[in-house]
Structure 1
Amino acid sequence: MELRHLRYFAVLAEELHFGRAATRLHMAQPPLSQRIRDLERELGVRLFDRSRHQVQLTEGGALLLEHVRPVLAALDTAREAMRRIRPGEAGMLRVGVPPDTSPQVLANLTAGFTARVPDVLIDLHELTTDEQLTRLREGELDAGVVRHPSDTVGLESGPVARRELGVILRSDHAAAALGGPVRLRHLDGAPLVIFPRAMAPRLYDHMLTICRDEGFLPGSIRHARNPNFVHGLVLAGRGIHLNAAPTTPLADGLAWRPLQDAPLAWLTSVVWVPSRHNEAIAAFAEAVSEGLAAAGHHIADTAVGDSG
């Protein structure tokens, strides 16, 4: 018994007309009739009552249909899953991006990806670095845009994009009044507003280590992830915030200043599970690099290594 014979049977059971069933199956009517007869001989059961004017399911045919439908449905689901992981065949690429990805970067990477593989849909998910790494390893994502340092053991990475960080503070802060680059040690004792550690533990620890080494020990630490909330805390005098230069004007009363000698930076790359790499992931990595470069990131020549 072949699966295609079961599909022929299911289509005929739905149409109850050999001509219409043959048309749906893109085959001639005589071969369809022959396949149904072969199936009946193999099962030893008559599946259809045939007359000159109508075709009807027998009791045996109705019972077989109950068993065949879930088998064919499961087969279709499996084929769809396989189709989605094949590049260039109207599949889908599931990818993660950081929550603070700018609208310009999202627009550019989406357009760049579509230009490269127009038959593959891109399914974007707003996820932190650690959330992305977990879902990649569990097979729920095909690729992720993550910040380094991070636990990328067992994963491959595309080129690393670097963007230097500065500090967002109140306009009346002494460091803002200087107008030029700010040394981290001049911020010593100021409260710090930073993303929650759970979002990217290794990056969080790395940033605080750099701050300590540069002479900046925060007087206190507040955690926030929504940019509006972060800026509100800074404006309310609850701390300073380390981030890249804003892509849109800051609220009145806030200022951004670069850091002297650029000790801190976002290091970003696309990562994926090596065994799942395909043309679509390669196109996504290229589109992300282009999008980040257009937003002011500097693309390195080499990929980041595992950090485990």
Structure 2
Amino acid sequence: MNIDLRHLRCFLAVAEEGGFTAAGRRLHLTQPTLTRNIRTLEESLGVRLFERSTRRTELTDKGKILREAVTPLLRQLDSTLGDLQKGEKLRIGFSWGLPEGLSRLAARFGEETGVGVEFIRCDTPQAGLDTGEAHLALLRSAPLPKGLRGVLLFEESRIAAVPASWQLAERTELDWAELAGLPLVVNTVSGTTFPDMWPDGSRPVVGAECRNFDEWLEKVAVGLGVGTAPVSAARRYMHPGVRLVPLTGAPTVPAYLAHPSHGAHPQAARFADQTWRAADELQHA
């Protein structure tokens, strides 16, 4: 018989609500869709489950029998499915600088789905997706690496990071082109600034390399070079040896929430989509 859970849930909602209109509101279905599901169920069983009139919808004797049988079965199924979700975790990897407001969206997601969200720092090129530690990752790179898909949450302007001991730190503003004449501190794993972003023939030399944001900050502080970061770094990271100077003419930094194209956690795409829809909350928290 061509019967599935959708048909049985529609049947039970109409039986409990006493009508199609109230049942449609409960299930967030249009009345034609609900009616079609009930008709399919009746045709598959070969019996009438409801007596319909212009004023009321009542269960037939066969409908009452089905309701008595289906009610405990669906309740037990829902309870079992809920128990399976308990303790399930969705791990989100990041290398540095989680957007403001993301933790609030994660908490809301957990309340709605029963799936908890954990944030884990992973200093790898794909913030834990490449090692399997994370189900989703915040990546600041464009385009996304092959094998990943995701949503663009926002694009952020940059700020320059210069050693506080340099005279350059007294400037109120720097231009992107000026940085080409200065040594650059490059985070080779999770950085957003590399020499090839400048035109050929006017690229900065590499003053130092590192593998994470903390090392990057320390190398700038001791005067090995300059760097750039999203402007949110000015709010999230402070270092007495580093001055953050407004930067003009610089390319923006995209922020993606990414997951594997194949074999992703069942809730990964759902969380990414919900976060994308609420992206304004991330920048205006």
Cα distance, 1:143–1:250 mapped onto 2, change above 3 Å: closer
Distance in 2 separating the partners of 1:214 and 1:104 = 38
Residue 143 in 1 paired to residue 130 in 2? no
Identity over aligned pairs, percent: 16
Q: Please name the residue that 1:14 is paired with.
A: none
One-letter identity of the residue aligned with 1:256: L
One-letter identity of the residue aligned with 1:273: S
Q: Please name the residue that 1:250 is paired with.
A: 238
Q: Please name the residue that 2:220 is paired with.
A: 234
Measure how far apart 1:266 and its partner are.
Answer: 3.9
Aligned residue pairs: how many? 202
Cα distance, 1:146–1:155 mapped onto 2, change above 3 Å: same
Q: Please name the residue that 1:265 is paired with.
A: 253
Residue 218 in 1 paired to residue 205 in 2? yes
Q: Please name the residue that 2:187 is paired with.
A: 195
Extract unaligned runs of 5+ from structure 2: 1-79
Deviations 1:99-137 (A, max 9, x none): 2134845533432322432x112243322343534245x
Distance in 1 separating the partners of 2:92 and 2:237 = 27
Residue 89 in 1 paired to residue 103 in 2? no
Deviations 1:69-117 (A, max 9, x none): xxxxxxxxxxxxxx99x99832524323222134845533432322432
One-letter identity of the residue aligned with 2:163: R
Distance in 1 separating the partners of 2:237 and 2:140 = 24
Deviations 1:138-157 (A, max 9, x none): xx643333232355334331
Q: The residue matched to 2:139 in structure 1 has which SS?
A: strand
Residue 155 in 1 paired to residue 141 in 2? no
Cα distance, 1:177–1:267 mapped onto 2, change above 3 Å: same
Match of 1:111 among 107, 113, 117: 107
Larger gyration radius, structure 1 or structure 2: 1
Cα distance, 1:194–1:288 mapped onto 2, change above 3 Å: farther
Q: Please name the residue that 1:177 is paired with.
A: 170
Q: The residue matched to 1:152 in structure 2 has which SS?
A: coil
Q: TM-score, normalised by structure 2?
A: 0.56
Q: The residue matched to 1:259 in structure 2 has which SS?
A: strand
Deviations 1:23-54 (A, max 9, x none): xxxxxxxxxxxxxxxxxxxxxxxxxxxxxxxx
Distance in 2 separating the partners of 1:155 and 1:235 = 35
Which structure is richer in relative contact order (CA contacts within 8 A, separation 6 or more)? 1
Distance in 2 separating the partners of 1:235 and 1:141 = 31
Higher helix proportion, which one?
Answer: 1
The answer to whether the Cα contact below 8 Å between 1:92 and 1:123 also exists between their aligned partners in 2 is no
Q: TM-score, normalised by structure 1?
A: 0.52
Q: Which moved more, 1:256-265 or 1:282-291?
A: 282-291
Deviations 1:158-177 (A, max 9, x none): 23421122211134544433
Q: Please name the residue that 1:27 is paired with.
A: none
Measure how far apart 1:283 and its partner are.
Answer: 4.0
Cα distance, 1:158–1:290 mapped onto 2, change above 3 Å: same
Measure how far apart 1:265 and its partner are.
Answer: 1.5
Extract unaligned runs of 5+ from structure 1: 1-82, 298-308
Distance in 2 separating the partners of 1:97 and 1:282 = 15
